[in-house]
Structure 1
């Protein structure tokens, strides 16, 4: 573009895996459509096709506008907390990247809300993971590869005997697409943390500990008001995915329920001791240079 000089700082953030995910997913000609529809969400009851929130520099404080999506029913998140896991089709996904040096505290706030994609009634829960879904939007729980993966993962989990889907809201999980029938190119989601609206105690038959004892799902906010938030401290550069769903274990699949997510990045200051140590090293280096000049 005439009059614009591309610097390395401007170019390099676009090389993050999430940025490459975006370019593979939409193609150059579709970019204006994505920009125009940045507040729109992925459709519910589809494969894992996330809403891209963007890249955020670890050194810059920012709060996004609320990003709308919708999920089918009000139990998708809590279903992933039980002993036979859940189905990603009953969740909505968001992706974002953190770039640059240092670390930041990232706050996620999710609420159930009426929007153009769904009605009221969602009691939200969400989980933050490191990792990205398939760039082609093809990951789903019932592909041949996904079923192979979760059969193996269930067998490796003491007490697990059967699964409803791939989604695990309090643990790592793997999922893949139809083309990957052997599960060798799976998307891997590494658990970071979770939070949910209200409080839920699962029956012994549904406990993820498989001990037939009542199980209080941790990190509920204790107040059922269709909003929940959590701050994740000292996150570093990388690609992240948020899965959002309902926490009402008794809910039915329909109707579609709207949700909105807001993200806030707060840079973590470099500790004073580290700054002083760095300043001291710089001072010693300057003194050494001056002595060398004097000796010359």
Structure 2
């Protein structure tokens, strides 16, 4: 091989390496830090594509990794994480402005537990309601260092159309949370003009949030290209967990209703 041929070979190898790096970079995502939540409201104004949380290819309805907005959130201080302190947190996604608000949006929370969240890469789509390697589903396997299995998924909320994603999971208008998660004790979700997810007893730790517009592939009603991105406000704030009535109160209520019923029958006689 002469010098000219050697130079061409070297250039070719370098070119392939560059293309490979670009390809991996295109599939990767980075997450913006929202800071540390210790009770004071955290708010973020931004814009996101209208199909980034639920649209990936014909009739698949995954999220787009490279167009969704990704955020990292630390819940509690370092001391709180060590102590296992819990918080009641309300996450809310609301459209912002009048000319191009995000009217139908959704967000998902995952956790990396007590390890600081890192970003991911090498994949295009994400499943809104599973963790990495969740029951054999590998869609989210490269989603950073999120906890493996179903425990890595914390919950979601969305105020768009209900749909089924490509893994066969139903994603309903409203929201859901991981009822068997070791990282929280309960939750509540609502979907009106906003998408809201309340998480009760949420353990101090590190969380990853994927956020975007909701537009399932099989619905032409929400598909429009103008404007391409929609304005929103995302907040994390303190909330109060509902206080359940003690069993004695239910027994007393039943007894009272029975007594009143008996009195009515006596009066009728």
Shorter-chain TM-score tier: 0.5 to 0.7
Q: Is the 8 A contact 1:96 1:239 kept in 2?
A: yes
Residue 94 (structure 2) aligned to one of 111, 114, 120: 111
Deviation, 1:237, is 1.8
CA distance in 2, matches of 1:79, 1:109: 21
Deviation, 1:260, is 1.2
Larger Rg: 2
Q: Is the 8 A contact 2:129 2:171 kept in 1?
A: no
CA distance in 2, matches of 1:194, 1:222: 11
> Per-residue CA shift, 1:53-77, capped at 9, x if unaligned?
21233xxx3222x2112212x1221
Deviation, 1:185, is 10
The equivalent residue for 1:62 is 40
SS of equivalent to 1:209: coil
Deviation, 1:133, is 3.2
Residue 229 (structure 1) aligned to one of 190, 196, 217: 196
CA distance in 2, matches of 1:133, 1:84: 25
The equivalent residue for 2:157 is 195
Quickly say closer, same or farther: Cα 1:187–1:105, change in 2 above 3 A. same
Matched, 1:217 2:172: yes
The equivalent residue for 1:261 is 234
CA-atom RMSD in angstroms: 3.5
Deviation, 1:107, is 0.7
Matches within 5 A, 1:127-206: 127-131=108-112, 132-134=117-119, 139-140=120-121, 143=122, 146=123, 165-173=124-132, 186-188=144-146, 190-202=152-164
> Per-residue CA shift, 1:122-168, capped at 9, x if unaligned?
4111111103233xxxx44xx3xx4xxxxxxxxxxxxxxxxxx3311
- For structure 2, which runs of at least 5 residues remain unmatched after alignment? 1-25, 134-140, 176-189, 242-269
> Per-residue CA shift, 1:88-145, capped at 9, x if unaligned?
1231112111231321111101112249xx94244111111103233xxxx44xx3xx
SS of equivalent to 1:62: coil
Deviation, 1:198, is 4.0
Quickly say closer, same or farther: Cα 1:194–1:55, change in 2 above 3 A. same
SS of equivalent to 2:146: strand
Normalised by the length of structure 2, the TM-score is 0.53
Deviation, 1:246, is 1.1
Quickly say closer, same or farther: Cα 1:237–1:78, change in 2 above 3 A. same
Q: Is the 8 A contact 1:114 1:257 kept in 2?
A: no
Matched, 1:71 2:33: no
Higher relative strand content: 2
Residues matched between the structures, number = 173
